[in-house]
Amino acid sequence: MEKQEISSESQQIKVSPFKRFCGHAFSGITERSSVLVSYDPESLEGTLEPASTAIKNVASLTMVSSGLFFFYWRRRIFQRLNGVVSISGAGPTILAWSGSIILIFGILNMRTNNPARSS
Q: Which amino acid is it at 53?
A: T
Distance of CA 112 to the CA centre of its chain: 15
State the DSSP H helix or E strand holding residue 14, giving kind and residue range, or none if neither.
strand 13-14
Give the sign of the dihedral formed by CA 65, CA 71, CA 73, CA 79: negative
DSSP 37: E
pTM summary value: 0.75
Tens of pLDDT, residue by residue over 70-87, are 999 999 988 888 877 777
Alpha-carbon distance 13 to 11, whole Å?
A: 6
Query: What does each C-alpha distance from 55 to 13, 52, 83 come to in angstroms?
Result: 24, 6, 39
| Domain boundaries of the chain, sorted by first residue | 13-111
pLDDT one-digit tens code per residue, 4-59: 444 444 688 899 999 999 999 999 998 888 999 999 888 888 899 998 999 999 99
